[in-house]
C-alpha cells in the first residue's frame, strides 16, 4: 500500500549515538540536555527568538489559550484538524466559526469583523497545508479590537512569509511535530511566543507550574522527553533536503494532473513554502469519492483532509454557516507525498485521477 504519508527515519546509527548519551547521563525527561539542545537548534535553524518543545501540537494550543487568558468567544476556522476546535472547547472557550477563502483555504479576514461581539477575546487561525493566513489583515483586526491571535502552524514548519518565519506572526504560534509531519520528533510540538513573558508562563504551565521546590502557578504535564528530542535532532539537519524532495514530487504531480477535474489552493506571493502536503480539490464530491475508491483499489491510500467542516461537528451546540468550508471539505483530497515517493507511483496516481 502506498500511504498518504510516510515518516522520515534517520540512519539508525545517528539516532543510536544520541540514545547512548541518554544512557550515560540517565536523564530521560524533565527538560534534559537533548530537549534544550533541540530547542536551541530549531531557533537557530528558523531564526526564532524562542521556542518551547512540548508533548504534542494539541497541548501547545491549550497552553497558549491558558497563558493568554483567553476566554469566552474565539473566532476560528472550520477548515482545520479537529484538534484546533477541541482545544478551544477543552479550555472552556466558545468557537465562533468564520468561513475560509477559496484560494488559500485559510480563514477569510474579510468575514471576521462581522463575527466580533463584546465577548470575543481572540482569533485562532490555521495555516492550512502550510499556506500562510493573511497575517497582515488579521493583525490589523486584532489590533483594532484588542484581540489575541494564536496561529495553529501545525503544517507550517520551515515556512516563511516576507522573509520572516511564519512562527513569528501572532501572539503565539504552535506547531505539531507528530510522526506524520514534515519535521517530526515521533510525538511532539512547540510553542513560540511574541512576548517572552508569555513563553515563561507557558513554560511553567507545561511543567506543573513549579521549578524545583518553588511553586508559581497551576500547571499540567506538557513536557517532552529525551528520546523524542533525539529524533528531532537527527531529523532537523535533513529539513532542506526533505523539502527539496517534496517540492520535486509536487511539481511532478502538477505537471501531470489535468486541470479539468481538479484545482489547487494558491500560495501567497512572498512565501517560502515547505510542500508539507499535496491537496487537490475536485469539481464535485462524486468525482472525489470515485477517485479515492479507484486509488484505494490500486493500493494507494489518500485522505479526505480536512473533512468534515468543523462547524458541522456533532457535539457543537451552535451552528455557524460556512458555505465555502462546507463545500470544499467535501471535495478536497490529499494525495501521497513524502520524501522517497517514487516517480512511477506519482505517475500511476495521476493516470487514475485523469481517467475519471
Domain map of the chain by residue range? 12-99+107-237, 238-354
CA distances from 302 to 5, 106, 161, 293 (A): 9, 21, 29, 9
Residues 1-30 have pLDDT tens digits of: 999 999 999 999 999 999 999 999 999 999
Through-space distance between the first and last CA atoms of the chain, rounded to whole angstroms: 21
Average pLDDT over residues 194-206: 98
If one looks up domain 238-354 in CATH, what number appears? 3.90.1150.10
Name residue 334's beta-bridge partners. Answer: 279, 303
**Cα pseudo-dihedral 196, 197, 198, 201, rounded to 10:** 120
* Domain 12-99+107-237 listed as CATH 2.60.120.10: no
pLDDT above 90 for 291: yes
* φ and ψ at residue 212, rounded to 5 degrees: 60, -125
Residues 260-282 have pLDDT tens digits of: 889 999 999 999 999 999 999 99
| Alpha-carbon span 251 to 246, nearest angstrom | 9
Residues 76-132 have pLDDT tens digits of: 999 999 999 999 999 999 999 999 999 999 999 999 999 999 999 999 999 999 999
Would you state the pLDDT for residue 259?
82
Residues 174-187 have pLDDT tens digits of: 999 999 999 999 99
| Alpha-carbon span 105 to 260, nearest angstrom | 20
Would you state the pLDDT for residue 260?
84
Instruction: Tell me whether the omega of the peptide bond preceding residue 230 falls within 30 degrees of 0, making it cis.
Output: no
Would you state the pLDDT for residue 331?
98
Tell me the average pLDDT of the chain: 98
Amino acid at each position: 500500500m502506498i500511504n498518504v504519508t510516510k515518516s522520515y527515519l534517520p540512519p539508525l546509527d545517528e539516532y543510536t549515538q544520541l540514545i547512548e548519551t541518554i544512557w550515560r547521563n540517565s536523564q530521560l525527561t524533565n527538560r534534559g540536555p537533548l530537549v534544550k539542545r533541540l530547542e536551541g537548534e530549531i531557533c537557530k535553524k528558523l531564526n526564532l527568538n524562542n521556542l518551547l518543545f512540548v508533548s504534542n501540537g494539541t497541548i501547545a494550543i491549550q497552553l497558549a489559550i491558558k497563558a493568554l487568558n483567553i476566554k469566552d468567544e474565539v473566532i476560528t476556522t472550520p477548515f482545520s484538524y479537529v484538534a484546533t476546535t477541541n482545544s478551544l472547547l477543552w479550555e472552556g472557550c466558545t468557537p465562533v466559526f468564520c468561513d475560509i477563502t477559496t484560494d488559500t483555504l485559510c480563514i477569510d479576514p474579510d468575514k471576521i469583523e462581522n463575527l466580533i461581539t463584546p465577548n470575543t477575546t481572540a482569533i485562532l487561525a490555521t495555516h492550512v497545508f502550510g499556506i500562510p493566513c493573511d497575517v497582515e489583515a488579521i493583525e490589523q483586526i486584532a489590533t483594532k479590537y484588542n484581540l489575541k491571535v494564536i496561529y495553529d502552524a501545525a503544517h507550517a514548519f520551515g515556512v516563511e512569509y516576507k522573509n520572516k518565519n511564519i512562527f513569528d506572526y501572532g501572539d503565539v504560534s504552535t506547531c505539531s511535530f507528530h510522526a506524520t509531519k514534515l519535521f517530526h520528533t515521533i510525538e511532539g510540538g512547540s510553542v513560540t511566543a511574541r512576548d517572552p513573558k508569555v513563553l515563561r508562563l507557558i513554560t511553567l504551565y507545561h511543567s506543573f507550574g513549579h521549578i524545583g521546590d518553588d511553586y508559581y502557578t497551576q500547571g499540567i504535564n506538557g513536557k517532552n522527553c529525551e528520546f523524542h528530542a533525539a529524533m528531532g535532532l537527527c531529523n532537523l539537519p535533513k529539513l532542506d533536503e526533505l523539502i527539496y524532495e517534496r517540492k520535486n514530487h509536487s511539481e511532478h504531480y502538477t505537471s501531470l494532473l489535468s486541470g479539468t477535474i481538479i484545482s489547487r489552493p494558491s500560495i501567497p506571493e512572498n512565501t517560502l513554502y515547505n510542500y508539507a502536503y499535496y491537496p487537490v480539490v475536485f469539481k464535485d464530491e462524486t468525482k472525489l469519492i470515485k477517485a479515492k475508491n479507484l486509488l484505494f483499489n490500486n493500493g494507494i491510500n489518500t485522505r479526505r483532509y480536512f473533512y468534515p467542516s468543523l462547524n458541522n461537528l456533532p457535539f457543537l451546540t451552535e451552528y455557524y454557516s460556512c458555505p465555502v468550508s462546507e463545500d470544499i471539505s467535501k471535495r478536497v483530497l490529499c494525495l501521497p507525498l513524502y520524501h522517497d515517493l517514487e516517480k512511477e507511483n506519482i505517475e500511476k496516481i495521476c493516470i487514475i485521477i485523469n481517467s475519471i
